[in-house]
Amino acid sequence: MDQSPLDRLFARHFPNGPGALDRFRRQLAAANLDFPVEESIIIAEPADIPELGIKLPAAVHYFIPGAGFGSIKTSAESSTPARQLFTSDGMGLNAGCPVRLARALEMLSSLAPEERLEPLANLRASKTHLATVEEILWLTVWKEQREIRRGGELLHSMGQKARDIDWFFWSRQIPIYLEAKYRPTDWMRLADRGATRVRDSLFSDIGSKFPREKPALQMHIGAITGFAEPDASFFGNCERKLLSTPGLNAVLYRSLLGSIYVCSLSERTTLLLAECVQFPPAGEYPLSYGVQFDRRLQAQRLAKEGSSEARPTDRLKIAALPFVSKSVRLKYPPRFKLMGWHANGLPKFANVPAFLANTPPEEK
């Protein structure tokens, strides 16, 4: 019997593919999302990349109508710089990865029923679905984790209130409050190959839910998911955020398929948290995803790119997990063509250019 795309996908990423897929379908039915997942599966065949020396497997996505992104919304000619943020298609924008969703649902199902209510409500809605998947996935990277619950409000010593924190848990006997942020507009930094520098807006509301004083007995962490790997402008703005937000112990960052970075002004805090974090093992997620963007809009962005850039000083202490990674620089980036539209509204591309995971040390 022919296997479906989901059968093949789950066989690649789970020890027991059929069992994992069956569990995913049951959890998906219980989640009762506002949009279909299996009925909107899209197969994207990546372009051949000779530099890799391997053939990348097809990317399997599900389409999310009403996510706020997509090239169907406006034409290149009428697009303003602000609208360019929302005119591309692909994973993390208007499409989701079934493996990421499966692992998020698995984590959610392990929590107490009262702790699932708010995340489930946000997971159901198109506008908040992808951000909620990434928020939940931040719970999957901690060693010796226990007592996971919603974070609730933190009280200032003088009675000042903060808004609800996403999560509280213990990791290796350390109490942690974690606020997770997803930055889908960061796709431009990936598409423009580093020319678009990180602005302080990437960190704009990080730490706003924490009290202003540095905590004495617990860790306050902001966790950001983006698209591209950090650069000097990222670390420079991260340092500024930590300096201006005393109640924030550390900022953690991960791209959708890259390393996890732990950043703090305290070397002890950086090392302590690096010991708590575990990078997902090889094969946990797909090797590549794709984002399709209009090259005319890219040229407009590059023409307006400024030269100023925030750079870190030696005050920022950084740990990257895993410590060894491999990136691929393509001499001739593959091009793609718009071939039409799927019935559910997602553009149909040929030769989809992929963005790749960093290679963990054991795969070198």
Mean pLDDT to the nearest integer, 270-284: 88
- pLDDT value of position 336: 62
- pLDDT of residue 363 exceeding 80, the answer is no
Count of structural domains within the chain: 1
Per-residue pLDDT of 65-86, as tens digits, reads 989 888 765 554 555 656 677 8
Q: pLDDT tens digits, residue range 312-324?
A: 677 777 777 664 4
Nearest alpha-carbon partner for 139 in 114, 171, 102: 171
Determine how many CB atoms are found less than 10 A away from the CB of residue 114: 9
- For residues 15 and 2, what is the distance between their CA atoms, to the nearest angstrom? 20
Average pLDDT, the chain: 82
Residues 59/290, Cβ–Cβ less than 8 Å: yes
DSSP letter for 143, please.
T
Structural domain harbouring 328: 5-363
Residues 88-96 have a mean pLDDT of 91
pLDDT above 90: residue 141:
yes
Per-residue pLDDT averaged across 338-360, rounded? 67
pLDDT bin (cut points 50, 70, 90) of residue 362 is: very low
Comparison of pLDDT for 3 and 308, the residue scoring more: 3
